[in-house]
A and B are shown apart, each in its own frame.
Chain A
Amino acid sequence: MSKPKSKNEWPLWEVFIRSKAGLSHKHVGSVHAADHEMAIENARDVYTRRSEGISIWVVESNQVHANNPAEKDSLFEPADDKIYRHPTFYEIPDEVGHI
C-alpha cells in the first residue's frame, strides 16, 4: 500500500455516480487516470455503459479520509443505547393517530 508509485502510473480516482435526479451519488468503484477530466471519461466508459448514470463525481483516492475501523465501537456505540431517539419509544394511544 505504501510502495512508491512508479513514474508513469496514473493516480487512482474513486468514482461516485448519481443514477437519476433525486438520488444521491453513490460509490461504484475506481479508475486510473492522469487527471480529473480523464477520470470522468474513464468512469463514463467503465461504469455507465448501460445508462446507469446522469452525473459523475471523481475524487482522487488519496484525498479520501476515513475513520479507523478498529475504533468503530467508540464512534458508533454511543448511539446504540439511545432508544428514546426513535418514535416507537413513546407510548401514545392508537386513537390519537399520528401526524
Chain B
Amino acid sequence: MSKEKAFEQEFENKIENEIKIEPRDWMPEKYRENLIRQISQHAHSEVVGMLPEANWITRAPSLRRKVALLAKVQDEAGHGLYLYSATETLGARREDTVDDLHEGRAKYSNIFNYPSVTWADIGVIGWLVDGAAIQNQVMLTRTSYGPYSRAMVRICKEESFHQRQGYEIVLHMAKGTPEQKEMAQDALNRWWWPSLMMFGPSDKDSKHSQQSLAWKIKRQGNDELRQEFIDKTVPQAKYAGLTIPDPDLKWNEEKGVHDFGEIDWSEFMNVIKGNGPMNRSRIKARKAAKENGAWVREAATAYHEKKMKRAQQKQSAA
C-alpha cells in the first residue's frame, strides 16, 4: 500500500468511527478545501449578519432591548472570529479569507441580503433567522473536523439567547396594539420564506451536500433540517397569534410533519447572484470597515515596533 493510500485509509477509518479530524492530521485536499469554503462562508455570515441588526441599535425602543441587541451583535462578531480562527487551523490566511468575501469569491448567507425595515424585523430575525442558524449549528456540533465542532459548541450556547430575545420581541408586539401586531405580521410575511431558504436547495439539487454528508462535515441533509425547523416554528407562530404566509401549510397526520408550499428558488438564485435588495450595500459596508480601519492596524503595528526598539535600546544601554 502506498503511503498516500495508507493515510487515506486511516482518515476514512476515523470518519467511520466518529474520531474527529484535527488540524495537523492528514486529510484529503478536497476535504480541506470543502471545509475552508464552508467555515469561511459561515464566518462571513456571522460578520455580515451584524449589519441588519446594527441598523436598529440606536433606535431600540428601550434600554433593555438596546443592551440585548448590542450584546447580540457583539456575539455575532465573536462567532465570526471563532470561525475565522478555525479556517486558519486549515492553513487559510485571514486576510485572504476576508478579501474573498470583498471580491465576491466567497458567499455569505443569502438571508442578509434583505433589509431590516422595522423594529419588528429585529424580533423576527432573532426568532427565525437565528432559529434556523441554531437548527443548522446544533447539527454541526457533531461535524467531523475538531476545531469547527468546538467553535459550534460555543456558538450554540450563545445563540440560544439570540433566539429567545427575538421571540420575546415578536410576542410582545403580537400581543400589543393592533399596529404593533400588524408590524409583527408584516415582518413574518417578509422573513418566512427567506428563512426557509437558509437551509439551502433541496438535497437532490445541492452540489456540495452529498460529499459533505459522506465526510460527516454535515450530519443532516438540507430538507430534513428545514422540515424540523418548520415543525418547531409553526406552533410558535400560532402561540403569538401570527399567521405563517403559506396557504399550503398544513399538518400531515400520517407523516407527523407539516406539509408546506413550494419554495421559490428562482428568487433565491436571483438574490444569491447579487440582485437582492441589500447585496451591494452589505459588501460596501464590509469593504469600508476594512479600508477605514487600515490606519488603526498600521498604527498598532508601528506602536509595537517602537516599543520593541525602545526595549532593545534600553537593553543595549544597560
Contact = CB atoms under 8 A, between A and B. Distances in A.
A10 B150 CA distance: 24
Interface of B: 7, 22, 24-26, 71, 74-75, 78, 81-82, 85-86, 88, 91, 93-96, 147, 150-151, 158, 294, 297-298, 300-301, 303-304, 307
Contacts, number: 57
24 contacts: A6-B95, A8-B298, A8-B301, A9-B94, A9-B95, A10-B300, A12-B88, A29-B82, A29-B85, A29-B150, A29-B151, A31-B81, A34-B300, A34-B303, A35-B300, A35-B303, A38-B300, A46-B78, A46-B81, A49-B75, A50-B158, A66-B24, A69-B22, A69-B24
A79 interface: no
B215 to A, nearest CB: 18
B85 A34 contact: no
A91 to B, nearest CB: 33
Interface residues of A, number: 23
A34 B304 contact: yes
Name the prevailing secondary structure of the B interface residues: helix
Interface of A: 1, 3, 6, 8-10, 12, 29-32, 34-35, 38, 45-47, 49-50, 66, 68-70
A11 to B, nearest CB: 10
A3 B93 contact: yes
